[in-house]
Chain A
Amino acid sequence: MKTLAELQAIRDRMKDSVTMRSGTGEIRAVVGMATCGIAAGARPVLAALVEEVNRLGLTDKVTVTQTGCIGICRYEPIVEVYQADKEKVTYVKMTPEKARRIAEEHLQGGKVVEEYTIGAAENA
């Protein structure tokens, strides 16, 4: 049972960290959320990504956002990872499990999970 008092407690807890949080946001993970993505299962993929980025304490470094149709609907759900000075990485046919692995190995560890990329899917 959730109450507004609990929301107040979150606010009190966050108040200090919000003012301190600079949020470099050097990595951007973008989930395709148009009709195609949603129908293919993007909603749980996004939820897993948000949850995992938070669990791993990456919220300062990684921003998880949503976008519309990326244009390659047959590969949905799609997650694109943008990072300054690096080539964009496109992950295709995503699942919550794959999203968790990408959060840990790529967003945290800096190592691209090659087998989930569009390059690997096209060569399969």
Chain B
Amino acid sequence: MKELSLNILDIAKNSVKAKATRIEIRIDETDGRRTLTIRDNGCGMPPEMVATVTDPFTTSRTTRPVGMGLPLLKLAAEQAGGTLTVTSSQGEDHGTVVTASFDMNNIDCVPLGDYAGSMVTLIQGSPEIDFSFHYHRQEGDITLDTAQMREILGDVPLDTPDVLVWVYESLTEPAE
């Protein structure tokens, strides 16, 4: 993956597949460290799957027994002096949390890239899911909450082209 935003898109797709109704994506840049957190309220995984989930030969795909999503994110984090952790629960409070950290000054740290493009892609693909996005950076925070958007939009679906353009622009030119 050439940019972290593509990993975000890829990993959040796992949450969609786990039938999450709410997916929270948080990017926190503090003191030269970038921490990505993707949290969902999907079906979760049993402990034995969590234990092997960063192994390429563990996958939920059906076309072949290889899955590169989490292994690639793990590689990206570890090559940039960071770590990847996955916690998951199938109990009452079911869901999965993926956390990846990066040393932003590390020469092998992949750029964040087009995070707005990834959010638009996620919303276009799953307009019924609630996405919350929070990017904490030095220049100021950028946030998006589709639940809040829905209150304003009423019956107008989130994948309406004009709404997707609004999402992209609000994530790239945030209000003061």
Q: Do A and B bind each other?
A: yes
- A interface residues with partner B (beta carbon < 8 Å): 1-4, 6-8, 10-11, 13-15, 18-19, 33-36, 38-39, 43-44, 46-47, 50-51, 54, 59, 64-66, 68-71
**Binary contact readout B146-176 vs A (1 if CB under 8 angstroms, 0 otherwise):** 0011001111110011111010011001111
**Chain B contact residues: over half helix, strand or loop, or mixed?**
helix
> Provided the pairs A10-B160, A54-B161 are in contact, do residues A33 and B166 lie with their beta carbons within 8 angstroms?
no
Which of B13, B68, B121, B170 contacts A46 (CB under 8 A)?
B121
Cross-chain contact of B162 among A14, A15, A19 (Cβ < 8 A):
A14
Chain B residues within 8 Å of chain A by Cβ, number: 40
Smallest CB gap from A36: residue in B: B68
Q: Given the known A-B contacts A1-B174, A1-B176, A43-B118, are A35 and B67 also in contact in the complex, defined by CB atoms under 8 Å?
A: yes
A79 CB, nearest partner CB in chain B, Å: 14
Summed over the interface, the residue pairs from A and B with CB atoms below 8 Å come to a total of 96
Residues of B within 8 A of A11 (CB): 152-154, 156
Interchain CB contact under 8 A, A43 and B6: yes
Majority DSSP secondary structure for residues of A touching B: helix
Interface residue from B6, B124, B153, B176 paired with A50 (Cβ < 8 Å): B124
Residue pair B162, A2 in contact (C-beta under 8 Å): no
Q: Are A2 and B153 in contact (CB under 8 A)?
A: no
Residues of A within 8 A of B163 (CB): 7, 10
B138 contacts partner chain A, Cβ-Cβ < 8 Å: no
Q: What 0/1 pattern do residues 44 to 67 of B give for CB contact below 8 A with A?
A: 000000000000000001011001
Asked whether, in the complex, the Cβ of B68 is within 8 Å of the Cβ of A35, the reply is: yes
